[in-house]
Amino acid sequence: MVRLMPRPGAASAEAGNVSIAAVARQAGVSVATVSRVLNGQAVVKAETRDKVMAAVEVLGYRMNHLARNLRTAASRLLLTMVPDVGNPFYAEIVRGIDSVARQHGYFVLLCDTGADPGRERSYFDLLRTRRADGAICLDPDTVQHALAEESASLPWVACCEFDPAVPVPYVGIDNRAAAAEAVNHLLAQGHRDIALINSDERFLYARQRRQGYRDALADAGLRLHPEWQLTVQSLDFAAGAAAAAQLMALPEPPTAIFAVSDTLAIGVLRGLRDVGRRVPDDVAVIGFDDIAIAAQIDPPLTTILQPMRELGETAARLLLQRLAEPGAVVPGMLLPHRLIRRASG
């Protein structure tokens, strides 16, 4: 007879090492019965149930989910891939995802990809190897694209960013229309010289918002000034400040600036202040997202509200739906945005 092999990891003898077999022994029943009681599906006599529950109590038993998951091939973990956890926009979406996930008994595995395809791929492997049941991806559609081909059958959904050509459920907003609305608002204030501070065009939203900006100007019969269209590589404050400084250094500086994210816009405000321009008197500024801080700063930021919480909640629900019925149709949803007028423009 081969002797027992000690388990490498769990050395100590503290609680938590109690298995279902120990409970069965203590209660004087079989493991199957214990499992039935614990999962509460099958019929078990009340008396037996009580014995089992008592044994659970006495031993301080807690289920080993690894074992359960191995057998049921489910981890009850939802992967969430975001380009940047520190960005308040994403943080709020993550909250929405988290709340829906928890309501349904799932935990969220939050991964910061830095919009890096390599990291994203390694996280996706968690899905392939079933360490996670499903995934929500907020990364640039361009990096999704590469993955989509090899992972079309995996249970994941896209949030904010998506490639309409890829058959994956998604939720987002109409970025083109929203951007046009922002620019139209500036036009309505009498501005004609409107700059765009756009982010990395690997992002779908960046390309769509640029289009909205161009459409709005074209509709107003205005020509595009290439030097008023800037692209920055990150969404942080410094990038916005630098872009603002660059615009103000132009021979013909714009009188209004549309920044595609509130973080950029806040940086813009700072950059304008640094070069002595007043907002909104000298230059009007409009942002995008309506993160919480936007209403707090001086001057309060005019912006386009994205329903961040709902975006997250919807993405989670879409994913849960897809997990429940794998064969179902894949809806793509657009949520409404809204212009929030404040003092900055």
Partner DNA sequence: ACCATGAATGTAATCGATTACATCGTGTAT
Partner DNA sequence: ATACACGATGTAATCGATTACATTCATGGT
Q: How far apart are CA 337 and CA 307, in angstroms?
A: 7
For 233: left if phi > 0, alpha if psi spans -120 to 50, otherwise beta; the answer is alpha
> What tokens were used for 113?
């990809």
2 contacts which partner out of a second copy, DNA, none, CB within 5 to 8 A by kind?
DNA
Closest CA to 198 of 188, 190, 189, 208: 208
Residue 122 near DNA by CB under 7 A: no
By beta-carbon proximity to a second copy, the closer residue of 146 and 218 is 146
270 binds, among DNA, a second copy, none (CB under 5 to 8 A by kind): a second copy
One residue of 25, 53, 59, 64 binding DNA per CB under 7 A:
64
Among the listed ranges 45-53, 178-186, 207-215, 249-257, the one in contact with DNA (CB under 7 A) is 45-53
| Of the candidate residues 2, 13, 249, 324, the single one contacting DNA (CB under 7 A) | 2
Q: Find the angle CA(118)-CA(122)-CA(126) to the nearest 5 degrees.
A: 160
| Dihedral pair phi/psi, residue 232, rounded to 5° | -115, 160
Q: Does 103 bind DNA (CB under 7 A)?
A: no
| Sequence-ordered list of residues with C-beta below 8 angstroms from that of 9, at least 6 positions apart, any chain | none
Residues 6+ apart with CB under 8 A from 111: 79, 80, 81, 82, 119, 123
> How many helices and strands in the chain, by DSSP H and E?
12, 12
By CB under 8 A, name the binding residues for a second copy. Answer: 7-12, 14-16, 62-67, 69-75, 77, 85-86, 88, 91-92, 94-95, 98, 107-112, 125-126, 128-131, 153, 236-237, 241, 266-267, 269-270, 273, 292-293, 295-298, 326
> What contacts 158, CB < 8 A, 6 or more positions away?
136, 137, 138, 141, 144, 166, 168, 169, 170, 171, 172, 315
Among 72, 102, 150, 274, binds DNA (CB under 7 A): 72
Which residue number, 53 or 110, has a Cβ lying nearer to DNA? 53
Residue 35's binding partner out of a second copy, DNA, none, with CB under 5 to 8 Å set by partner kind:
DNA
Report the nearest approach of DNA to the CB of residue 53 (Å).
13
Is 68 a binding residue for DNA by CB under 7 A? The answer is yes
Residue 7 binds DNA (CB under 7 A): yes
CB of 212 to a second copy, least distance (A): 26
The answer to whether 71 contacts DNA (rule: CB under 7 A) is yes
Q: Where are the alpha helices (DSSP H) in 60-129?
A: 65-72, 88-103, 117-128
Distance in Å, CB of 292 to a second copy, minimum:
6
Q: CB-wise, 15 or 218, nearer to a second copy? A: 15
Q: What is the DSSP letter of 301?
A: P
Residue 293 gets which letter from DSSP? G
Nearest CB to DNA, comparing residues 71 and 223 = 71
